[in-house]
Amino acid sequence: MWFKNKEDEETLEEIEQRVKAEVEAEWQAEMLEQGYSLDENGELVDTRSYEQRRTQREARVKKWREENPEQAAANHLRIDNDRKYINAGIYYEPLSKDYLHNQSYQERLAKAEALNGCKFKDSPELNSKRWQKIDKVLYDKKAGFRNLCDGKIATMGRLNGFTTFTFIIQVPTCLFGLSSFFDGHAWTGILLPIFFSMFFIRKWLKPYDQFVFDRHLGLVKTPHNWWRRSFYIPPEDLECYDGGEIKSARGGGSRGTAKFRCMKTPKRFYLKTPEFICRFGGMSQECWASYIEFMDITIPINPQLHESIEHYYTIDKNALETGPFPEEMKKYIDPEDKQVNREHVW
């Protein structure tokens, strides 16, 4: 009887290296077919002519349009509308920005203290090898967040909040409710209504679990806590820390972790530094930096957010969906096309 030696078995690292080498070989062969060549070091070099690159680019665009006809039509309509706004002379027309705060950091800090009803105290620095501060500079404009923004405010959820608690309630009520239903117990009439009511309660509680980045006010409103109310803080005093990846048990997947820490603590409501756990998956550097950039009134809003602004204009809701669309932002949108009709949105 033949037994396989332990030394003959591939380790996980060897399998990963083998698969990686196979993928790289396939990719290299595909590049060579497209006209690339290898230099003396075995590295790929783009030796294609201008005509080859143009032909291949047109073929990719044509293929994408055939596979995504609706998105292609929407992009074509957006380009036609932009051309219409340029010809009408409104695309580059400057608009009043008097709704922006135009205040210094010290003025906004004093405004936050007035809104909170108490003074701030400095929070201690986080001394941890695991938690690393995330850079606030956005290096790639196209890598930031693209939704949950109406032009006036941008929202960002947290994990350990009220909506998470509704999920925790739903799991046992669903399991015990179904078990009682099949067993014919009277508990079904109590547990299942609780399960379905959580959907409506979650929608009602969701605004209380959000960070609200208010560009016009120049302040960030923190989520509510279980026993403490939310407060306003300048974005300069809000930091995001990356906690690395946490792997699931028994060979499961992994997810990123992050948390927010306030570098100013309200004296009246908090005995320790306020911290909030980030949503599932953590927070990328680009996403965090794009929220901070959104609060910078010296530059226009990232064009990546224009479609989000148009969405909330269409449904006539703010980003929290607790009130109407901001009046100040309506002048940037064409009422018929429901599309941003200016080059820059402030």
Is the model more confident about 76 or about 189?
76
Is the model more confident about 127 or about 91?
91
The whole-angstrom separation of Cα 338 and Cα 324 is: 16
Is the model more confident about 37 or about 236?
236
Does the structure show a pLDDT above 80 at 96? yes
State the greatest distance between any 2 C-alpha atoms of the chain, in Å, as a whole number: 86
Q: Would you call 8 exposed, middle or buried from its count of C-beta atoms within 10 A (0-12, 13-18, 19+)?
A: exposed
Residue recorded with tokens 């996980």: 12
The 10s digit of each residue's pLDDT in 271-325 is 788 888 887 767 888 889 999 999 999 999 999 999 999 999 999 999 998 899 9
The 10s digit of each residue's pLDDT in 140-153 is 878 778 888 999 99
Read off the pTM.
Answer: 0.77
Q: Is the dihedral of CA 12, 16, 19, 22 positive or negative?
A: negative
Does the structure show a pLDDT above 80 at 10? no
Domain ranges within the chain, ordered by starting residue: 6-67, 105-162+205-340
Q: Predicted confidence band at 216 (pLDDT cuts at 50, 70, 90)? A: very high
pLDDT computed for residue 124 by the predictor: 87
Does the structure show a pLDDT above 90 at 75? no
Which of 275, 279, 345, 286 shows the shortest CA–CA distance to 310?
Answer: 345
Does the structure show a pLDDT above 50 at 2? no
Give the up-direction half-sphere exposure of residue 341: CA atoms within 13 A in the CB hemisphere. Answer: 19
β-bridge partners, 340: 333
Does the structure show a pLDDT above 80 at 232? yes
Q: Predicted confidence band at 1 (pLDDT cuts at 50, 70, 90)? A: very low
Q: What is the mean pLDDT of the chain?
A: 83
Tokens representing 72? Answer: 């292609």
For residue 315, report the phi and psi dihedrals to the nearest 5 degrees. -90, 0
135, 248 in Cβ contact below 8 A?
no
The whole-angstrom separation of Cα 346 and Cα 300 is: 5
The 10s digit of each residue's pLDDT in 17-44 is 888 888 888 877 877 777 777 777 778 7
Rg, Å, the chain Cα set: 26
pLDDT computed for residue 339 by the predictor: 93
The whole-angstrom separation of Cα 253 and Cα 13 is: 16
174, 195 in Cβ contact below 8 A?
yes
The whole-angstrom separation of Cα 161 and Cα 337 is: 38
Kindly list the distances between the CA atom of residue 14 and the CA atoms of 7, 254, 270, in Å, as whole numbers in the listed order: 12, 20, 51
The whole-angstrom separation of Cα 105 and Cα 275 is: 22
Q: What is the mean pLDDT of residues 113-125?
A: 90
List, edge to edge, every strand of the sheet that includes 153-157. 153-157, 210-214, 219-221, 232-233
